[in-house]
Structure 1
Amino acid sequence: MKLMFASDIHGSAYWAKKVLERFEEEQADYLVLLGDLLYHGPRNPLPQDYNPQVVIKLLNSIKHQIIAIRGNCDSEVDEMVLEFPITADYNIIPLKNRKLMASHGHLYNDQQIPSSLIEGDIFIFGHIHVPILKQQDGVYILNPGSTTLPKENHPNSYGILNHDQFKVKTFDGKVYKEIALK
């Protein structure tokens, strides 16, 4: 199973379109959205082409291929317009030989790893807008960075998990960072 991860779209129609273009080109089975989909948030600038209504239409167009969790900028009213659930604080995705836990990062993160994860499992989160690929206490800690508002001079990015390889990619499809999962 090939998974694509995108975090922190923050209502940008421009970057939501880019996410869907890459999703199609990557031919991933599911798009895992790590939260902060529609609202830019009070601490962020307005993103490029801020238009939550367009983002709603774009994401709803592939609703059967989306797995989503709630970010700190997402609310119950967002779920009223999106045609897929987004109010879960985390999702567990069983993989062949491990489990993957996806969360936004404001509740669980690399400083607060869920105790239910064991060696070889994967924890992926967004929220900080910075890509992370590391192993900590036997658990793989991954962050695809931000599609819309990257920080610390990182590029706009997304993640791909295919077999036992995780790659953070830029929107031209180039690998920015990668890690092999053993």
Structure 2
Amino acid sequence: MKLFFISDIHGSIHYLKKAIENYEKEAADFIVILGDELYHGARNPLPEGYNPKEVTNLLNKYSDRIIAVRGNCDSEVDEMVLDFPIMSTYSSILYKDKRLFLTHGHIYGEDNLPKLKDGDVLIYGHTHIPVAKKKDTIYIINPGSISMPKENNPNSYGVLEDDIFKIKDLDGNTFMELHI
């Protein structure tokens, strides 16, 4: 199974289209969205190609392949227009002998870890900064933001396949990698 991870779309159809092109090229089985699907939030500038309605339409085309969690900019109204649930604070995927704990990062994150067993993986968004590391006995991953990266990082996404999590720019170049 191949999983494709994106976070912090913030209503940008421009960057979502690029991410979906990469999803298709990667031939992944599922898209995991780590929150902040439609809106930019009061602290953020409008991202390039800001169009939540078009983002909704494009995401809904893939609704049978999306696993998503709620970000701090997401609301119940957003879930009413999306054809997949987004209002859970977290979700889990069982991946071989590990739990992938999926969350946005505004509640659970590197500084507020949920209860995880040795070898489990925390995957979050929110900070717009890519991370791929092991902290004590837990793997910590953030694929960055497809629309508004921070700290001079590229617009990015993540792919998990064969126990390797790769974080790639939107041209498909791997710039971080972690064996989990």
User: Do both proteins adopt the same fold according to a TM-score greater than 0.5, normalized to the shorter chain?
Assistant: yes
TM category, shorter: over 0.9
Q: Which amino acid aligns with 1:2?
A: K
CA shift, 1:70, in A, is: 0.2
Where does residue 146 of structure 1 map in the other structure?
145
**% identity of equivalent residues:** 54
Equivalent position amino acid for 1:88 in 2: S
Any gaps of 5 or more consecutive residues in structure 2? Answer: none
Counterpart Cα distance in 1 of 2:137 and 2:63? 33
Structure 1 residue identity aligned to 2:160? L
What is the CA deviation profile of residues 110-131 of structure 1, one whole-angstrom value per residue up to 9, with x for unaligned ones?
001111x111111100000000
Corresponding residue of 1:81: 81
Tell me the residue number matched to 1:128.
127
1:149-164 aligned at under 5 Å gives the runs 149-164=148-163
Which runs of no fewer than 5 residues in structure 1 stay unpaired? none
Residue 64 of structure 2 is matched in structure 1 by 64
My pick for the range that moved more, 129-138 or 80-89, is 129-138
* CA deviation vs aligned residue, 1:36-79 (integer Å, no higher than 9, x gap): 01001101000001000000000000100000000000000000
Hey, what's the Cα distance between the residues in 2 that align with 1:137 and 1:153?
Answer: 27
Cα shift readout 1:136-170 (whole Å, capped 9, x = no counterpart): 12010000000000000000000001121011000
Shift of 1:134: 1.0
**SS of 1:91 mapped into structure 2:** strand
Aligned residues: 180
Greater CA deviation, 75-84 or 92-101?
A: 92-101
Matches within 5 A, 1:1-182: 1-115=1-115, 117-181=116-180
Supply the distance in 1 between the matched residues of 2:35 and 2:10 (Cα, whole angstroms): 9
What is the TM-score when the length of structure 2 is the normalising length? 0.99
In structure 1, the residue corresponding to 2:32 is in which secondary structure? strand
What amino acid is aligned across from residue 18 of structure 1 in structure 2? K
Q: TM-score, normalised by structure 1?
A: 0.98
For 1:133 and 1:5, the matched residues in 2 are separated by 13
Deviation >3 Å, runs of 4+: none
